[in-house]
């Protein structure tokens, strides 16, 4: 954010980010890509680089059904916001871990899990179950809600972290 933007402008922009992320997901980004590319401008990251760096995180990291890609993408954003610039910056590393944990806890409180295979009740690493998830439309009916939830929670955590500064 440049210094000429008002806090009202900043909050209006933050309010639009969940819808932008959902649109990007529905337009073909994987879940992690939809999250990080929606924040790329904020951190001066090239959208193409954000797409590439997060491309393996979808479907619970390489479609293995582990941590939801939305949360992986959000962890990258939290690293951009508060992560350490050197290995010696232990307090920034801890702040990033704490914020990432908080995000997952809030997500799990809302959705019951942080694991893709539990959220979708399909194991995407098994080709037949991946195809079943596609035919049932789970990526269109469930995943957009996870994208929106994560980006909304991420915005809240970013605002909370900025208030502490």
Q: pLDDT tens for residues 52-69? A: 999 999 999 999 999 999
Residue given tokens 């879940």 in the structure block: 31
Neighbour-count burial of 157, counting CB atoms closer than 10 A to its CB (0-12 exposed, 13-18 middle, 19+ buried): buried
**Exposed / middle / buried, residue 60 (Cβ in 10 Å: 0-12, 13-18, 19+):** buried
pTM attached to this predicted model: 0.89
Buried b (16+ CB within 10 A) or exposed e, 93-113: bebbeebbebbbebbbeebee
**Residue whose structure tokens are 């596609």:** 134
Reply yes or no on whether the pLDDT at 6 is more than 90. no
Q: Which tokens go with 66?
A: 């582990």
Token pair of 113 as six digits: 């899990």
Q: Does residue 69 contact residue 32 with C-beta atoms inside 8 Å?
A: yes
Distance CA 129, CA 117 (A): 10
Tally of CB atoms within 10 A around 54: 23
pLDDT single digits (tens) 73-129: 999 999 999 999 999 999 999 999 999 999 999 999 999 999 999 999 999 999 999
d(CA 57, CA 46): 18
């Amino acid at each position: 954010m440049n210094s000429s933007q008002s806090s009202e402008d900043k909050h209006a922009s933050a309010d639009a980010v969940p819808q932008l992320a959902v649109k990007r997901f529905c337009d073909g980004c994987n879940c992690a890509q939809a999250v990080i590319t929606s924040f790329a401008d904020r951190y001066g990251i090239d959208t193409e680089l954000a797409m590439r760096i997060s491309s393996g995180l979808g479907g619970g990291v390489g479609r293995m059904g582990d941590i939801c890609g939305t949360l992986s993408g959000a962890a990258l954003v939290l690293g951009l916001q508060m992560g350490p610039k050197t290995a010696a910056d232990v307090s920034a590393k801890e702040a990033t871990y704490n914020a990432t944990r908080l995000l997952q806890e809030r997500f799990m409180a809302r959705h019951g899990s942080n694991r893709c295979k539990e959220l979708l009740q399909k194991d995407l690493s098994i080709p037949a179950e991946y195809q079943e998830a596609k035919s049932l439309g789970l990526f269109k009916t469930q995943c957009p809600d996870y994208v929106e939830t994560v980006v909304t929670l991420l915005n809240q955590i970013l605002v909370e972290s900025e208030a502490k500064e």
